[in-house]
Every structure is written in C-alpha cells, then in structure tokens.
Amino acid sequence: MNDSNNSLNPWLLPVTLGASGVVGFLAGKLFGQRRISADQILKMIRDDFKREGEVTGSWINQHRIPYQRFAVKTEAYEGGVTRLEDNQPVDYQFIADAKTGSLLSLKRVERSLNN
C-alpha cells in the first residue's frame, strides 16, 4: 500500500496559516486606512440635502481633525451647508467621519437678526 496521501509535510498547515495571517494583516493595513476625500464627503452630504431642498452653498475644511465621542476615536472633517427652507436660507454645520463619510454631528446654526 502507498501511504503518500497521509504523508503531508507536518509544516504545511502552520506555514499556510502563518502566511495567510501575514497577508490578512498587510491587506488590513493597506485597505483599512483608506479615507474618503473631503470633496467626496461634501458631495455626498450636498446630495442628501438636495433631496429635501435647494442647496445654495456649502464648504468643507480640507484638513482632518481628531474627533472623539465617548470611547470612539477617529478623524473627521468639518463643514457646512446652506439650503432654502420656506424661501429662507438655513445654515447647518456638520462633522463627518474621514473614513466612511458618515455624519457624526449635524446642527442647525441660528442666524443673527442682522443677516
């Protein structure tokens, strides 16, 4: 009888698992740290606001800022959008996650009576 099927190299399984672990780690480092550009995030947010009304202006700070909410730390972009509501301009400020583009904070900014 030939036992060639049972004579696998004893190092094959550990080496394969080790190599796949290294490849997974490197892939996580390469692809896990990608960020969405500030311009792409602003476009996504503008598009969301356009669904509910005319956008008359927007801005985004191109420099990421550290952001922490409770125990969660990330990098984020600050920006703003102005849209018409009842034919009046209404300003909103936002903070968006630099990796996902998700809104972390959104608040309506009250205009002073002089504007």
Structure tokens at 49: 């606001």
pLDDT at 64 exceeding the cut of 60: yes
Structure tokens at 50: 């356009």
pLDDT at 68 exceeding the cut of 60: yes
Using DSSP, how many helices (H) and how many strands (E) does the chain show?
A: 2, 5
Window from 20-24, 34-38, 73-77, 96-100 with minimum mean pLDDT: 20-24
pTM: 0.69
DSSP 3-state percent helix, strand, coil across the chain (nearest 5):
30, 35, 30
